[in-house]
A = this chain, B = another copy of it.
Amino acid sequence: MSILRKNKIDFRLCAEDMPTKWYNFLPDLPKSLPPIRDNGHHSAQKISEQIRPKILLEQNNPKTQWVDIPTPVIDRLIQCGRPTPLRRAYGLEKYLDTPARIYFKREDTLTTGSFKLNTALAQAYYAKEEGRKILISETGAGQWGMSVALASQMFGLKARIFMAKCSLAQKPYRQHYMKMLGTEIYPSPSQKTNCGSRLLNRSPEHPGSIGTAISEAIESALETPDSAYLSGSNINHVHLHQTLLGLEVKKQLSLAGEESVNHLVACVSGGSNLCGFMMPFLKEKNEGLDIQMLGVESTAAPRLTKGTYEYCRSDVAGYTPEVLSYSMGKDYIPAPVHAGGLRNHNSSPLVSLLYKEGIINARALDEIKAFEAGRLMLQTEGILVAPESSHAVAAAIDLANDAKESGEERVIVFLASGNGFLDLQGYNEVLDL
């Protein structure tokens, strides 16, 4: 009988195996997160309290080690494909001829095609519980926007998304998807907000950025009654919601008979996929297990590997607080790589602390290397990952090659954070198909 049939390739969990609590990893950190600076012309702290559901603010610093996931959130996560598979990458291993055992977590199988849905559903639920009627957010490449669109629909709420004008043109399919769910979409900068209007007056052809879109979304939330603003990354409650990833992977590695894991690999920007995946392993790492955590960024915005650890903010209008993070500087313009999720000018305070303290390592990879790894992943495993995820694939391949070099049986797990079907145009351009 085939080894694959005996559950040795696809370590599936059933609905009843779905975690029912998120893991609060803050107690496992070596030190507290540095305080924010709230010296903009708005009070970022007050703004945050006004636009976000109260329980989400509490979840930025939970009082307990475990946080209950509300049942309606669990139900919808299951409807949308959780728990997601963990797959052994036999095809890739064979191609690389490596003694390493490579696994990958398939967040690409969620119905929106990315891991972002995990927190969108939770945030939408809490907003609804507080009586909010419309969810407002920004989106870069569009994966987060799609998740907000679906989550709002599933809880009977409306959604409004500001998407950088340049990305909207580059990724029309994601816009169609959001519109099918009744989401209002504004290309940022837009005339919908004062901040957007000012930018357009100054520069009518402004291409927009994630920074302009955040500012417009926050302003819109401040001015729209019964609205809530949702964040797709960067902030602690988002990282908390994403711990589902690591909690599931731990169960699945155990099903796979792996007693330990040597390398965890994920792409990194705000870092919610990385933190959600890796932080449930931090306690074991603290206890001395050899678990190496690697964040992979894009050379288009090499915040960790080439940035400066400094106070800066995420948006252009100054609605967000200044946070201590690795940054390229607030005026940095990244190259227009297709991995839109990796283009932010700064990282989150948490990821920055993890890097500063040596808990995670980081590498920056260029787009061609990443997309070539994405192609190899498709060719050997049959799975097309998102441009962001392809950075993790490329780094995992290098680790597997290192293992071959040293002849060691390393266990490598990487995160396939999203699906690449809607990025085929990008693959086509970069790989010159």
Complex CA–CA separation, A71 to B20 (angstroms): 37
Q: Is the CB of B1 within 8 A of A71?
A: yes
Known: A12-B14, A111-B384. A5 touches B74 (CB 8 A): yes
Whether B80 and A424, one on each chain, are in contact in the complex, defined by CB atoms closer than 8 angstroms, is no
* Pair B425/A172 contact, Cβ less than 8 Å: yes
A316 within 8 A of B: no
Binds B, one of A43-51, A203-211, A353-361, A373-381: A373-381
Does chain B have a CB within 8 A of A433? yes
Given that A12-B12, A179-B433, A180-B433 are contacting pairs, would A5 and B382 also be in contact in the complex, using a CB cutoff of 8 Å?
A: no
Contact mask A14-33 → B, CB, 8 Å, 1/0?
11101010000000000000
Question: CA–CA, A10 to B84, complex, Å?
Answer: 12
A282 within 8 A of B: no
Chain B residue at minimal CB-CB distance from A110: B382
Cβ-defined contact, B5 with A179, below 8 A: no
Closest to A1 in B: B71
Please, which residues of chain B bring their CB within 8 A of the CB of A173? 421-422, 424-425
Question: What is the chain B residue whose CB lies nearest that of A179?
Answer: B433
Q: Given A15-B6, A383-B111, A427-B176, A181–B422 Cβ distance below 8 Å?
A: no
The listed residue (B1, B421, B428) touching A421 by CB distance below 8 A is B421
- Could you give, for residues 389-433 of chain A, a 1 whenever the CB lies within 8 Å of some chain B CB and a 0 otherwise? 000000000000000000000000000000101101101100101
Decide if B421 touches A2 in the complex (CB within 8 Å).
no
Closest to A111 in B: B382
Q: Is A366 an interface residue (CB 8 A)?
A: no
- Whether A243 is near chain B, meaning CB under 8 Å from some CB there, is no
Docked pose: A182 CA to B375 CA in angstroms? 10
Contact of A7 among B16, B383, B419, B427 (CB under 8 A): B16
A60 at the interface (CB under 8 A from B): no
Q: Contact mask A175-199 → B, CB, 8 Å, 1/0?
A: 0110111100000000000000000
Of all chain B residues, the one with the shortest Cβ separation from A374 is B180
In the bound assembly, the distance between CA atoms of A305 and B1 in angstroms comes to: 46
Contact of A176 among B10, B81, B433 (CB under 8 A): B433
Minimum CB–CB distance for A142 against chain B, Å: 11
> Shortest Cβ distance from A146 into chain B, in angstroms?
10
- Chain A interface residue count, CB cutoff 8 Å, equals 58
CB neighbours (8 Å) of A1 from chain B are 71
> Is A90 part of the binding interface, using a Cβ–Cβ cutoff of 8 Å?
yes
Bound Cα distance from A9 to B90, whole angstroms:
30
Contact of A382 among B150, B381, B419, B422 (CB under 8 A): B150
A272 within 8 A of B: no
Query: At the interface, yes or no: A112 with Cβ under 8 Å from chain B?
Result: yes
Instruction: Give a binary string over A231-265; 1 marks a CB under 8 Å from any B CB, 0 the rest.
Output: 00000000000000000000000000000000000
- A154 lies within 8 A of B80 (CB): no
Interface residues of A in 328-361 (CB under 8 A from B): none
Is A91 among interface residues, defined by CB-CB distance under 8 A? yes
A141 to B387, CA, bound (A): 25
For residue A109, CB closer than 8 A to chain B, the reply is yes
Instruction: Beyond the given A79-B87, A176-B433, A182-B379, please list 15 additional residue pairs across the A-B interface where CB-CB is below 8 A.
Output: A1-B71, A4-B75, A5-B75, A6-B16, A10-B15, A10-B78, A12-B12, A111-B382, A111-B383, A173-B425, A176-B424, A179-B428, A180-B378, A180-B427, A419-B421
Q: Could you tell me which A residues sit within 8 Å of B by CB distance?
A: 1-2, 4-10, 12, 14-16, 18, 20, 71-72, 74-76, 78-81, 87, 90-91, 109, 111-113, 150, 153-154, 172-173, 176-177, 179-182, 375, 378-379, 381-384, 419, 421-422, 424-425, 427-428, 431, 433
Closest 9 CB pairs of A and B: A179-B433, A176-B424, A176-B428, A173-B424, A4-B75, A421-B421, A111-B382, A2-B71, A80-B382
